[in-house]
Amino acid sequence: MHTTDRLSLNVNFIARFSAFLFFILIVGVSSLRAQEISEDAEVIAQGEQLFKANCTACHRINERLIGPALRDVHTRREIDWILNFVKNPQKMINSGDEIANALFEEYQVVMTAFPFSDDQILSVVSYIKAESDKPIEVAVATTTAGDGTVVEHGMPQTYINVIMVGLIVVLVILLIVLFLIINVLARFLKEKELDEDEREVVEQRLNLKALVRSNAFLGFAAFFFTAVVLKTVIDGLFTVGVQTGYAPTQPIAFSHQIHAGQYQIDCNYCHTGVRKSKSANIPSVNICMNCHSAIKNIPWTTNPSPEIAKIYQAVETNTPIEWVRVHNLPDLAYFNHSQHVEVGGIECQTCHGPVEEMDVISQYANLTMGWCINCHRETNLNTRGNAYYDKLVQLHSEVSKEPMKVEDNGGLECARCHY
Amino acid sequence: MEKGKKTYWKGLEQLTNDPAFVQIERNEFPEKLPLKDEEFGASRRDFLKMMGFSVAAASLAACETPIRKAIPYLNKPIEIDPGVPGYYASSYINGSDYCSIVVKTREGRPIKIEGNKLSAVSGGGTSAQVEASILSLYDKERLQNPTKNGSPITWNDLDKEVMALLSSISAAGGQIRIVSNSIYSPSTLAAIEAFKAKYPGTEVVTYDPVSNYGITKANETSFGVAVVPSYDFSKVKTVVSFDADFLGTWINPILFSKEFTKTRKLGSGKKDMSRLYSFESNMSLTGANADYRIAVKPSQQGALIVSLYNVIASKAVVPTIGGSSSTNDAISKAASDLWNSRGNSLVVSGSNDPGIQTIVNGINSLLANYGSTIDLGKSVNFRSGNDEQMEKFITDLSSGSIGAVIYYNCNPVYDYPKGTAIAANISKTSLSVSTSDRSDETTSVVAYQAPDSHFLESWNDAEPIAGQLSLSQPTISNLFNNRQAQESFLMWSGNEFTYYDFLKANWEATHFANQSVETELQTFWDKTLYDGVFVPAVSVEEKSYEFTADLNATAQNIKGSGSGLELVIYQSIAIGSGNQANNPWLQEMPDPVTKACWENYLTVSQAHAVELGIVMSEGNTQKVDLTINGTTISVPVVVQPGQAQGTIGLALGYGRKKAGVVADDLGLDANPFVEVKSGIRNYNITSGVSIAATGEPYRVAHTQTHHTHMDRHSVIQESTLAEYKENPAAGRHFPKISTSTGKKQPYEVSLWEGHTYTNHHWAMTIDMNSCTGCGTCTIACQAENNVPVVGKEEVLNRREMSWIRIDRYYSSDAEHGDLKALEKASENPEVTFQPMMCQHCNNAPCEAVCPVAATNHSTEGLNQMAYNRCIGTRYCANNCPYKVRRFNWFKYHDNRDFPENLSMNNDLGKMVLNPDVTVRARGVMEKCTMCVQRIQYGKLEAKKEKRRVKDGEVVTACAKACPTNAITFGDLLDSESKVSKSLRIEREDNHMRWKEERAYHVLEEIGVKPNVWYFTKIRNKEA
C-alpha cells in the first residue's frame, strides 16, 4: 500500500511535472509563433475551407499523394519557409533552397503557386495543426461520419402512418365486434319461433354469385379498375422524359468515387462555375492536367492507365473531350447553380446524390418541375448573414412564425425559371 | 369616355374614318383561321402520310432519348466562365458612322451592344443601327475568303499578286488611289502612310455615303478651316433647323439627341426648356419633335435663311444683305427667340449648298454661337469626306489615268451618285481591290476582294472628334478567313507585323509618350482599353475664329423659290445610307414617322394624293411614275401628313442589288438621282421632277394603325410650357367613375384586392418630353429578347412581333369633331411619340382570362408569361387594352419560309441569340417581360454580394439603349431609386401614391393600374 501510494504520488508528480514542462514548451513555441498559428475555431474553419478547396487535389494530412502528407508540417518547417513556398515554389527551387530542392527530387512535381495572403496560408497551417493534434484513427472516423449527412424530413408522414395504423386497428376491432354481435343475435333468434318470412331473413346465406352479378358490385369493380388503369397511365406519362438513373457511357471512364470519394477532392476544384455561374461547368482538360501531369497510373499499381492516356491524347491532338450530358433540363427552364450553391447554400449531393460513391455518374433526382417545386416549398430560405434578405425576413416574421421558405419569396412563380 | 381637347390620330384612314379600317380596327386579329386554305387543307392522302410518319417518329423517339454532348474547353481561358457574361469597351466604326460602345459577350461570342457612358462623342447612347450591327456580324453573306474575280484565293497568293501589280504600277509612275469613307483612325492613317511611302503615286480619296461637304466648304470660306464643327446642343435655348434632321440622321444624332433632350427635361425645379423651330419639307424626326414646324419647299430654304439673317442683322445693327428673301411670321418669331438667347442658340441647315451654309454661319456668328454652341476646333472627323476629291477621282478613273484603286470599306458603286460610271470604268485600271467585309455592288466589280474583319473582330483606334480618342478591341476571333484591312495595307507596304502590334506601337509613340499619369505602357494600354475612350491631357488648342465670308456676294447666288415639284432625298432612321441594308432587324423596324417598313416609297402630301387620285388605307396604295430629269421609275406612294406642298420625299439606302438575301431588290435606289452641283452632292432636286398616277395598286407594309384605337384621349396627355409653369398638372386628364356613392377616381373602385409587394416593385417611367421616337429601344429589345423578324407579308397581315413599339400620334388644336379643321391640320400636324409595351398592370385584364393561368402576376409587380404553359387561345391579347401581346402565328425559327429571320434560321445567325431567353415556339403568346432575365441576374449578383440591389444595376434593354434617357426603370420599393424620385412616391399604410403631377397612366379610367407611368408631353409654344 505504502509503495503504491508513493508510486502514485511519483506518477502524479511526474505527470504534473511533464505537464508543466509541456506547458512551458507550448508557451515557448506559441510565444514564438503566437501571432501566426491560431487555435481560433474560426481561423481553423477558414483554413479547412481553403485546404479542402485548393490543397486536397494533391495533399492529405496523413497520406502521401501527389505531394507529401502534411501532418505536423508546422513543426517540420519554418513558418516563413511555408509562406514563401506556397506563394512561389518555383522561386524557392530556383533560389537553391535545400528543402525545396529535396522535395522536388522526391516528388518530381513543382507545386502550383497559390496567390494567397499570409493570413490565408496561416489559417491553412492552423487547420493542419488542429488536424495533426488529433489522433489518426479519430480523424478517419470523423471524416466518414461527416460524410453521412442525414436529411431529416417527413415528420408529418410518420404521424399519418401512426394515425392510419390506429384507424385500421379500430376498424378491425369494430368488424370483429359486429361479427360477434351478429352471431349472438342469430343464435338468439334461432331459439325463437319465427314465421316463414322472418326465418328467411334470419337464415339468409351469403350468395357470392348473386353478389358478383349485382349492379353495385360490377359498378364498383369497373370504377376501381378504371381508376387503377388511369392512375397507372398518368403515373406512366409522368415518367416520360424522366431520366433518373441515366448513366451513359462516357468517353473517359472517369470515376467520381475515386476523385470525390476516395481522394476527397472538393467539387469546386473541378466544377469551377458552380459558385459564380449558371452552369457548374464540366472541367476543361487543363484542370485534369493539374494533377494528371503527375498521376499517370492506375491507382495503387504501376501500370499506365489507358483512361488517363485519353487526357494526354486530347491535349496532344488539341481536341476537347466530348462528354455525354447526364443532367438535361429542357431549354424552357432556366436553372442557375450559383443561386442554389452560393446563395442558397445547398449541398451538391442534395440534387446530384451521393456522387462521391458513384463510379459511373448517373442522374439522381428526377429533375421534373414537380421535384423543383416541392423543394422550393419545403426548403428554408438561406437568409442568414445576407443583407439582401434582412427586410424580407423581418416582414415575414411579422406575419408568420414558420421560417421563411423559398416559396415565401416567390419561389414558385413562373418567371423565376421560365423566360 | 370623356372627350379630350384634341383629336389624335395615327393614320389618315383613322382620321377619315375609312369604313374598311373601322371594321378591321375593332379586331385584334383581322383574319380568321385557317390562315390559308391551300396550306391547311390536307387531303386524305396527306392525312395518312402524316399519320404514318408520326407513328414512326413516335416509336423511334420512344426507343432512346437523344444523346446530348457537353463539350468543355480544352484550355479554358481564364477570363471566360461559361454562363457569365463579359463586357468589353469598343467602338462602332461603320462607314462614316461612329459610336463608342460596350459589347456584352457570352461564351466568347458578342450578343448585345450598349452605349459607353464614358464617351463624349456618343454620350453613352446608341442608335438603332448601332444596336442592330451585332446581327450583321453573324450574317452569312459576309465574304468568307479572299477572292480573285469571284473565286477563292489564298491570302499569300493575293498578297503576292497585289504587291507585284502595285510595284509595277508604282514603278511606272502610275497613279494609285485609296477610296474610302471618312478615315478617322489615327493608326489606320499611319498604316496608309506606310503604304504611301512604299508606293509614292498613292492618294487617299474620301467621301461619305451622305455628304456634309457643303458645311466643310462653307467653313473654309467663312473661317478658313475646312471642317465640320462640333455642335453643343446641351446649352441651347433656341434651335432653328432648316431641314437638318439632327435628332435622326444629321452628323452625330446620338449625341445631339442626348444633349438636346437634356434641355427639354422638366421637373425637380427645372421649369425651362429649349424651343425648336423646324423649317423642312419631309416630316423628319426633328420636325416631329419641333415646337414649331413650318413646311417649306427646299427651294424656299435659301431665301428664308437670308431673311432670317436680315432680321437678326437689323437687331444686331449690322448691314443686311441682298439676294432674294422671303419672310414670314415664323421667321421673325424665330429671329427674336434666337436673338434673345444669343450665345445659347443654334441655327443649323441640312442643305449641302456651301452658299446657304455660309449664311447660316453668318447667322450663328451674329448670334455669338461660335465658341459657345459651335466649336470649330473640335472637328467632326467622321464626316470629313471631300466630294470634290471624289469627283476628280471619277474623272481620272474615266480618263484611264489611274493604275490601281483600292476601295477601303466603301461602296461607291452603290452609294455615290455616279456609281455606274465607277463600275463602268473600273476595267480601265490594272488593279482594283476592295476590302469590304461583305459582298456589295463594289466588290462585285473589282478584281480582288481582300475582306476586312467585322468591327467586332478588329483592333482599331479612332479619333471621331478632334481630341477624343477611342479604341476598338475584338470581342470574337475572326469567324471567316478574313484579315484586317490595315494589316493588308501594312503587308502590301512590306511591313509584316500584325495591326495590333502596329496600333500599340503607334499609341506608345504618341498618346503614351504625351501623358504623364501612367508610367507603364501596359497599365496605360489596359486602362484605355478598359475605358474604351481616351482624352489626351493636351487636347485641341483654343483658337478664335473670325468670320470673313462675303455674305452679300454669297446671298446674290441664292435663288428664290421654284414653282415646280421638288424632290427631297433623305436618309431613313433605320436604314440610313444603306450599308447595313442586309440587316432584317433594321428592315423591319418601322420608320418612326411613316411607320412603314421593308422598302422605300415616295412620301406625298395629302392634297397631292387627292390630286393623283390616291386614297391610302391600311397600306393599300398605288404606284406612280416618278420622272426625274428624264429618268422614270415606278414607285409606291405613302401619303404623309406634314409633307410640304409641292414636295415629295424618297429615302436612300434601298434598291440594293448585291447586298444579300434580305436587302436585294427591296425598294428603289435613290442615289442616281442625287445631283452633283459644282462638285458637291445636292439632295434637293428642285427642277425636272414630275409624277404621274398609274393606278397600279400596291401594298406598303405599315405598322401605323396596327394595335391601336382612336378616341382614347387619355392615352396622350400634353400641354404647353406656359400652362405647365402655371400648373404642373396641365394637360392631365382625371377620369371619374360613377358609382352608387357618387363619382370616384378609377383607382378607388376595384373588384380585386390588389397585390402587396415586399421585396421589389419594378416599374418604369417614360418621359414623352424626352422621347424623340428614334426607335433605338425597339432594336435593343429585339436583340435582348430574341424577337423574330416576320417579313413584309406578315407585317401586312398585322403580325409583327416587336415587344415594344413606338406609337406615333398626329394631333392638331382643332376642335374635337371638327373634321374640316382636322383635314387642314393633316397638312402640318403636331406629332407625339409614345413607346408602348406591356404595362404590367396590377389588375391585369389578360391574367383574368387565361384559361390555363399561363399569364399571371409576380410578387415583384411583373406580369409574367409562361410560354410552356400557354395553349394559344389568344384570349389575353383580345382582353389587353394596350394591344401589346404578340402571338406566334408560325414557327419563326428553323423555318425556310422565313429566310429573312436571320437570327434564327442558320447556325451562324443563331450565335446572336441571348442564351438566357427562350426562343418561342409556334402557337404561344409573348410580350414584354421587363427583361426579367436582367432582373433575375441583378438580384442574383446582389444576393451573392449579400446586399440589396442598387438602383441602376437592373436596367431593361430599352431603358439602357435610350439615347435620351426617356425611359427609366427601377424599384419603387427603393425610395432612393430614380423611378421613385421622379414619381415622388409617397406611402401611407401600404398605399402608394405618386405626387408627380405630370405622371399618368395610359387609360387610367379602366382601372388596370399599370406599373408603367408616362409623363405628359410639354410643348414650348405659345397658345
Q: Is residue A197 part of a domain?
A: yes
Q: Is residue A265 part of a domain?
A: no
Please indicate whether residue B616 or residue B784 has the higher confidence score (pLDDT): B784
Which residues of chain A from 340 to 359 reach within 8 Å of chain B, CB to CB?
A: 342-343
| pLDDT at residue B50 in the model | 64
Domain shared by A171 and A110, yes or no: no
| pLDDT at residue B706 in the model | 52
Write down the number of H helices and E strands in chain B: 32, 45
User: Which spans in B869-1012 are helix H?
Assistant: 875-879, 902-905, 932-944, 957-961, 978-983
- Residues of chain A with pLDDT > 70, as a percent, come to 84
- Minimum CA–CA partner of B784 in chain A: A419
Looking at residue A102, which CATH number applies to its domain? 1.10.760.10
Mind listing the pLDDT tens digit for each residue in B75-116? 988 888 889 999 999 999 998 899 999 999 998 899 999 999
Closest Cα of chain A to B1017: distance in Å? 34
| Residues of chain A found within 8 Å of residue B932, distances taken between Cβ atoms | 415, 419
| pLDDT at residue B62 in the model | 53
- The helix (run of H) or strand (run of E) holding residue B434 is strand B431-434
| pLDDT at residue B924 in the model | 95
- Asked if B83 lies within 8 A of A334 by C-beta distance, the reply is no
Contact B668, B655 (CB under 8 A): yes
Domains of chain B, each with CATH number or no CATH: 7-20+707-1019 (3.30.70.20), 230-375 (3.40.228.10), 564-699 (2.40.40.20)
Closest Cα of chain B to A328: distance in Å? 8
B868 touches chain A (CB under 8 A): yes
Contact B176, B619 (CB under 8 A): no
| pLDDT at residue B826 in the model | 63
Among A270-279, B102-111, B556-565, B930-939, whose mean pLDDT is lowest? B556-565
Overall residue count recorded for chain B in this entry: 1023
Evaluate if residue B6 carries a pLDDT over 50: yes
Q: ω before B34 within 30° of 0 (cis)?
A: yes
Q: What is the C-alpha separation between B821 and B987, in angstroms, rounded? A: 46
| Structure ipTM | 0.85
| Residues of chain B found within 8 Å of residue A281, distances taken between Cβ atoms | 72, 81-83
Summary mean pLDDT of chain B: 89
B862 touches chain A (CB under 8 A): yes
- Asked if A410 lies within 8 A of B76 by C-beta distance, the reply is no
> How many domains does the structure of chain A reveal?
2
- The helix (run of H) or strand (run of E) holding residue B262 is helix B253-262
Question: First CA to last CA across chain B, in angstroms?
Answer: 26
Evaluate if residue B61 carries a pLDDT over 70: no
Closest Cα of chain A to B155: distance in Å? 25
Please indicate whether residue B206 or residue B65 has the higher confidence score (pLDDT): B206
pLDDT band at B389 (very low <50, low <70, confident <90, very high): very high
Evaluate if residue B783 carries a pLDDT over 80: yes
Task: Give the mutation candidate from B107, B847, B868, B930 for the A interface (greatest A CB count, under 10 A).
Answer: B868
Q: Is residue A86 part of a domain?
A: yes
Domain containing A58 equals 35-147
pTM: 0.83
Q: How many CA atoms lie within 13 A of B14 on its CB side?
A: 21
A321 touches chain B (CB under 8 A): yes
Mind listing the pLDDT tens digit for each residue in B175-187? 999 999 999 999 9
Closest Cα of chain A to B480: distance in Å? 20
Evaluate if residue B990 carries a pLDDT over 60: yes
Domain shared by A143 and A161, yes or no: no
C-alpha distances (whole Å) from B1018 to each of A173, A210, B48, B266, B338 are 85, 90, 65, 9, 20
A300 touches chain B (CB under 8 A): no
Which residues of chain A from 235 to 274 reach within 8 Å of chain B, CB to CB?
A: 241, 243, 246, 248, 272-273
| pLDDT at residue A197 in the model | 77
Query: What nine digits make up the cell of B869?
Result: 404553359
| pLDDT at residue B2 in the model | 44
Contact B906, B897 (CB under 8 A): no
Mind listing the pLDDT tens digit for each residue in A128-167? 888 888 776 543 333 333 333 333 444 566 788 899 999 9
Domain shared by A176 and A193, yes or no: yes
Domain shared by A174 and A138, yes or no: no
Write down the number of H helices and E strands in chain A: 20, 1
- Residues of chain B with pLDDT > 70, as a percent, come to 91
Closest Cα of chain A to B69: distance in Å? 5
| pLDDT at residue A139 in the model | 39
Closest Cα of chain B to A365: distance in Å? 17
| Span B534-539, average pLDDT | 80
pLDDT band at B363 (very low <50, low <70, confident <90, very high): very high
| Residues of chain A found within 8 Å of residue B854, distances taken between Cβ atoms | 414
Domain shared by A143 and A44, yes or no: yes
Evaluate if residue B188 carries a pLDDT over 90: yes
Beta bridge partners of B763: B970
Task: Give the mutation candidate from A413, A416, A417 for the B interface (greatest B CB count, under 10 A).
Answer: A413
Q: What is the C-alpha separation between B216 and B361, in angstroms, rounded? A: 11
Q: Is residue A273 part of a domain?
A: no
Contact B688, B616 (CB under 8 A): no
**Which of A100, A130, A147 is the endpoint of a domain?**
A147
| Span B219-225, average pLDDT | 92
Domain shared by A118 and A199, yes or no: no
Closest Cα of chain B to A417: distance in Å? 9
B894 touches chain A (CB under 8 A): no
Domain shared by A141 and A182, yes or no: no
- Minimum CA–CA partner of B760 in chain A: A392
Among A327-336, B62-71, B252-261, whose mean pLDDT is lowest? B62-71
B758 touches chain A (CB under 8 A): yes
Give pLDDT < 70 ranges for chain A. 1-36, 136-157, 202-206, 299-300
Domain shared by A142 and A53, yes or no: yes
| Residues of chain A found within 8 Å of residue B944, distances taken between Cβ atoms | 276, 338, 342-343
C-alpha distances (whole Å) from A8 to each of A4, A13, B201 are 6, 8, 111
Q: Is residue A160 part of a domain?
A: yes
B72 touches chain A (CB under 8 A): yes
B1023 touches chain A (CB under 8 A): no
CB atoms within 10 A of CB B580: 27
Domain shared by A104 and A185, yes or no: no
| pLDDT at residue B26 in the model | 60
- Asked if A323 lies within 8 A of B866 by C-beta distance, the reply is no
- Minimum CA–CA partner of B931 in chain A: A419
Mind listing the pLDDT tens digit for each residue in B130-148? 999 999 999 988 999 999 9
- Minimum CA–CA partner of A328 in chain B: B68
Q: What is the C-alpha separation between B594 and B806, in angstroms, rounded? A: 12
3-state secondary structure of B97: strand
Q: What is the C-alpha separation between A392 and B758, in angstroms, rounded? A: 7
| Span B886-890, average pLDDT | 94
Q: What is the C-alpha separation between B689 and B627, in angstroms, rounded? A: 6
Domain shared by A80 and A45, yes or no: yes
| Residues of chain B found within 8 Å of residue A279, distances taken between Cβ atoms | 82-83
Overall residue count recorded for chain A in this entry: 419
Evaluate if residue B457 carries a pLDDT over 90: yes
Q: Is residue A101 part of a domain?
A: yes
- Residues of chain B with pLDDT > 90, as a percent, come to 71
CB atoms within 10 A of CB A128: 24
Domain shared by A181 and A96, yes or no: no
Domain shared by A89 and A137, yes or no: yes
Between A and B, how many CB-CB pairs are < 8 A? 144
- The helix (run of H) or strand (run of E) holding residue B762 is strand B762-767
E strand segments, B145-208: 147-148, 151-152, 176-180, 202-206
Write the DSSP string, A158-197. Answer: HHHHHHHHHHHHHHHHHHHHHHHHHHHHHHHHHTS---HH
Mind listing the pLDDT tens digit for each residue in B744-773? 888 888 888 888 899 999 999 999 999 999
Evaluate if residue B814 carries a pLDDT over 90: no
Among B227-236, B642-651, B809-818, whose mean pLDDT is lowest? B809-818
Q: Is residue A343 part of a domain?
A: no
Among B189-203, B658-672, B825-839, B1006-1020, whose mean pLDDT is lowest? B825-839
| pLDDT at residue A77 in the model | 84
Q: Is residue A181 part of a domain?
A: yes
Q: What is the C-alpha separation between B471 and B524, in angstroms, rounded? A: 12
